Structure 1
Amino acid sequence: MSGPARDAAELAAVQPLQPAERSRWRGLALPVAAVALWWALSAADLVNSALLVSPGKVLATAIDQVASGRLWRALGASLAREATGFVIGTVLGLLLGALLGLSTLANRIVGPSFNTFKQISLFAWIPLISVWFGLGDVAKVVFLSLAALVPVVVNTCDGIRTTPPALLEVARVYGYTRWQTVTQVVLPSALPSIFTGVYLALIYSWLATIGAEYLLVAGRGIGNTLIEGSEHFQMDLVIFGMFVIGLVGWSMNAAARAIERRLARWTGRA
């Protein structure tokens, strides 16, 4: 390597991290400190071991769950329910949100009822759903669909109804038809808000998956893993299940944010 190139490489090696890189590493400080404190407390026997098991025991449980396939069966069942409820709720939410946003008449007729509906706590539907659909997968998918429906409807309707008047005026000047105005002006303008609704639906449906499995206990799922650990007082299994739930939620959030950034670049080029 030549002298200037070697000097540049050495300078890059000692150059401090950029702000974004430092921020990313700083985010690990709290989890690492929490795990270190957890390890120290369990090693020193300062907390009842039945209530706070050691990280080593949780790791052993994780290895057993993975090797035996129990984790994949439970997680697969939960993700299948989540995906089904998310798709159903999102599709219905897009249709209803578009109807409320584009039609003043529909908004006057359906809007008040929907505004009342969305004020009802999601978990308040559990007794009714369990009576109508039982405790199986159908009931859980209905529950998850409700969780995904509301944010998609709200954000789709708001995105459409807040289209800048200047854009609508340009469409009118150019003689756009109603269909051209909707497809080429209104929907592209509302796309960020619509994606926000879909993103919230993805997160809410995953959170609702755990709640549905915990309250509608029939079947298999990662929520049932928590129940099993709690009933048998296996705190290692409970903590492992919580780690899995958090990791899956984090992965969904990261994937959604990556898609959002790609979508923003695409709409910017368009």
Structure 2
Amino acid sequence: MKLSYRALIVPAALCSAWIFYSLFESHSHPLFPSIESVFSLLIRKLVTGAYLTDILWSLRRNISGFALGTASGLIAGIVMGYFTRMDKLLTPTFNFFKQVTLLAWIPLLSMWFGQGETAKIVLISLASFYPMTVNTYAGMRSLDSKRNEVALMCQLSSFKKLRMLIIPESAPYLYTGVHLALIYSWVATIAAEYFFSSAPGVANIITDGRDTLDMPKVISGMILIASIGFVLNSIFTRLEARQLHWVQK
């Protein structure tokens, strides 16, 4: 996915307005720091490695919860979408629980798993589980019925049928599920770090800045969160486009 020059107009305009505002020191406000103070702090913390520990901790939580939730969602989606009896048995209950907003799970998770890493990873995995299950289920339900004839004619085993027919045919749905799970898992990572016990993580940068009224630190943390999420999304978008180049859009 190529970045259009038009996509840079709004960020350039916002940065220009911020720079223009920062030039007037008489109008500066402690709650709205200059662009120079924010980016100088951000660059200094990155160069010295002060933010590196927070970034690595957040990415570790994100990857752990994302992997757990995506794998569970893939299995659940296949079971409910491919097997008719399991669909009738499990799908109504799944549709009931998926209406529960993610933040509503936090009090329950804190009582079950405490305030530590386990609760954070479970929350992130829940954020990944639902979109992956929904899209995998849709992919299973969209399968062409003729695949059974092909599998019978080629004498494919159940595993080969899954690997050679079912997975490739439902790949667009699966990639969509993984993509959404990746987005939601990063959002859930920040929420988990914010609502559970304080520990190293990018959300901790914001909470520290809030507690000390250090607005450059708060905004630098927000920029860092957005940048990491943008990079993760861009990487997967390129991977998805490369793997699904055969799909007619």
How high is the TM-score relative to the length of structure 2?
0.92
CA deviation string 1:73-104 (max 9, x = no partner): 01111000000000011111111111111111
In structure 2, give the amino acid aligned to 1:153.
T
Q: Does 1:104 align with 2:84?
A: yes
Task: Report if the CA contact (8 A) 1:42-1:49 is conserved.
Answer: no
CA distance in 2, matches of 1:99, 1:193: 15
In structure 2, give the amino acid aligned to 1:128.
L
Task: Report if the CA contact (8 A) 2:78-2:137 is conserved.
Answer: yes
CA distance in 2, matches of 1:250, 1:88: 22
Give 1:142-181 correspondences, 5 Å limit. Answer: 142-165=122-145, 167-168=146-147, 170-171=149-150, 174=153, 176=155, 179=158, 180-181=160-161
CA deviation string 1:201-236 (max 9, x = no partner): 111100111111111132110001110111111110
Task: Quote the residue 2:49 is aligned against.
Answer: 69
The gaps in structure 1 that reach 5 residues or longer are 1-19
CA deviation string 1:27-84 (max 9, x = no partner): 1111011011011112224754211100110122113312332210011110000000
CA 1:86 to 1:47, structure 2 compared with 1: closer, same or farther past 3 Å?
farther
Q: Which moved more, 1:87-96 or 1:176-185?
A: 176-185
Give 1:1-270 correspondences, 5 Å limit. Answer: 24-45=4-25, 47-165=27-145, 167-168=146-147, 170-171=149-150, 174=153, 176=155, 179=158, 180-265=160-245
In structure 1, give the amino acid aligned to 2:86.
A
Task: Report if the CA contact (8 A) 1:171-1:181 is conserved.
Answer: no
CA distance in 2, matches of 1:217, 1:70: 20
- SS of 1:225's equivalent? helix
Query: Rg bigger for which structure?
Result: 1
Task: Report if the CA contact (8 A) 2:193-2:204 is conserved.
Answer: yes
Cα offset for 1:151? Answer: 0.6
Task: Report if the CA contact (8 A) 1:89-1:147 is conserved.
Answer: yes
CA deviation string 1:140-176 (max 9, x = no partner): 00100000001111101110111133x3364277365
**% identity of equivalent residues:** 34
RMSD of the alignment, in Å? 2.0
Number of aligned residue pairs:
246
CA distance in 2, matches of 1:255, 1:225: 25
After TM superposition, what 4+ stretches of structure 1 lie above 6 angstroms from structure 2? none
